Amino acid sequence: MIKAFLIKYSEIGLKGKNRYIFEDALVRNIRDALKKIDGEFVVSKERGRIYTYADGDFDFDETMDALGKVFGISGICPMLQVEDEGYDKLSEQVIDFVDQTYDKKDFTFKVMGRRARKNYPLNSMELAAELGGDLLQKFPELKVDVHKPEVVINVEVREHINIYSKEVPGLGGMPVGTSDKGMLLLSGGIDSPVAGWMVAKRGVKVDAVYFHAPPYTSERAKQKVVDLAKQVSKYSGPMNLYVVNFTDIQLAIYEKCPHDELTIIMRRYMMKIAEYFAAKEESQCLITGESIGQVASQTTQSLAATNEVCTLPVFRPLIAFDKQDIIDISLKIDTYETSILPYEDCCTIFVAKHPVTKPNINKIKASETKLDDVIDGLFKEAVESVELIKVGE
């Protein structure tokens, strides 16, 4: 019976004159999301509202699931849409809707009538009163409660008549493609996919860079990162994943620099290379999964030392999150199971037993001069040998 969905959006309604840009992006993103599932859909914007209609056969749960992954949607109302064939027919249809939507008819309710088309013979109040009366007569166990009803049955008379009573929460956020672009440093861990997802939720189009260190890290470890990128892209849209061979840079650092500074120096080069690809993609920010105090390289001083090489703003959406809160999101977005697969990571292979937690930036810079002879060549080789994987297209 349900073949239509009213799409509610909140924040993007606040954008004044730019509102249409956000709405159009949301419509586009909904269309893209529905292209991935079976069925034909029409997505349309009508007087400040967005509707999705199924044209022919479709799977309800799959559709709700796809809509539930689109950033910018605050709620999804499955809706029965009917033609205006007179009040008596409408009354039958509303009764039918309630009958099919609720197994037990023992809740409190009210009917919200809305006459948006002024030539309809009943006004909003009359419509609500009449339909409410008919429902009570048909289902005597229902009770009217106009102040705190358990169920609000919306009946909106527009060109067609919309009947709906449930709103399934959406993810919120902003439609991807309305703000900026960001370059995510994506590792195989739990944190960075969540960080990328969070920034994408703010409407940012996210691409990613992954550093691997063959033969120290395996093809499976790389595949794991590709899988994580795919999962994030189910929400954030198509993503360019740059896979950078970081082995020679890591070996050079390992050979020439103090071992307690390895991680920091390595991370500084990761940031520099990420900025290179950010520039290529015209991204305006970097994104990492760092969180204060999680490991030695994530103390405030360590973060400052890493940050020092960056010219772009570095967004760390998880900075004040507890691990469990991050895990909760990774479970919700279904990256957790992949993240915990036990493959080696390029950072863990070259870690020192006692890494510095309060790096001195001048000392770090002095250590880095030991790389002067080789680093430009290694940097060039690393970016030139990059493998670009197109994810989620």
Which residues of the chain form contacts with Mg ion (CB under 5 A)?
187, 189
Please, what is the minimum distance in Å from the beta carbon of residue 14 to Mg ion?
37
Length of the chain as a residue count: 393
Q: 191 — alpha (psi -120 to 50), left (phi > 0) or beta?
A: alpha
User: How many chain residues touch ligand ATP (CB under 6 A)?
Assistant: 21
Of 91, 61, 95, 59, whose CA–CA distance to 76 is shortest?
A: 61
The listed partner (ligand ATP, Mg ion, none) that binds 63, CB under 5 to 8 Å by sort, is none
185 binds ligand ATP (CB under 6 A): yes
Paired tokens of 247: 């082995």
Nearer to Mg ion, 109 or 269 (CB): 269
Interface residue with ligand ATP among 178, 245, 297, 367 (CB under 6 A) is 297
**In the sheet where 181-185 sits, what is the strand order?**
314-315, 285-287, 181-185, 205-212, 239-245, 387-391
The window from 63-71, 152-160, 344-352, 377-385 that contacts ligand ATP (CB under 6 A) reads 344-352
What would the x/- binding string for ligand ATP be over residues 129 to 168, using CB under 6 A?
----------------------------------------
Cis peptide upstream of residue 258 (ω within 30 degrees of 0): no
Check residue 271 for interaction with ligand ATP (CB under 6 A).
no
Residue 54 contact among ligand ATP, Mg ion, none, beta carbon within 5 to 8 Å by kind: none
Please report the beta strands in the chain, taking only residues with DSSP state E, as ranges in sequence order. 4-8, 40-46, 49-55, 75-82, 108-115, 143-144, 151-157, 161-164, 168-169, 181-185, 205-212, 239-245, 285-287, 314-315, 387-391
Stretch that binds ligand ATP, among 38-46, 70-78, 232-240, 282-290 (CB under 6 A): 282-290
Tell me the pairing of strands 75-82 and 161-164. antiparallel
Position 108 contacts ligand ATP (CB under 6 A): no
Indicate the residue among 23 and 290 with the shorter CB distance to ligand ATP: 290
Q: How far is the CB of 294 from Mg ion (least distance, A)?
A: 10
Interface with ligand ATP (CB under 6 A), residue from 288, 302, 338, 367: 288
> Given candidates 132, 237, 289, 359, which one binds ligand ATP under the rule CB under 6 A?
289
Q: Are the C-beta atoms of 20 and 169 separated by less than 8 Å?
A: no
Closest CB to ligand ATP among residues 209, 375:
209
Burial of 352 (0-12, 13-18, 19+ CB in 10 A): middle
Minimal CB distance residue for ligand ATP: 189
- The tally of CA atoms less than 13 A away on the side-chain side of residue 353 is 0
Residue among 297 and 338 whose Cβ is closer to ligand ATP = 297
Of 189 and 355, nearer to Mg ion (C-beta) is 189
Using CB under 6 A, pick the residue from 108, 218, 284, 294 that binds ligand ATP.
294
Helix axes 87-101, 124-138, angle to 10 degrees: 60
Residues 6+ apart with CB under 8 A from 285: 180, 181, 182, 183, 199, 204, 278, 312, 313, 314, 315
Minimum CB separation of residue 340 from ligand ATP in Å reads 10
Interface with ligand ATP by CB under 6 A: which residues? 185-187, 189-192, 209-211, 270, 288-290, 294-295, 297-298, 345-347
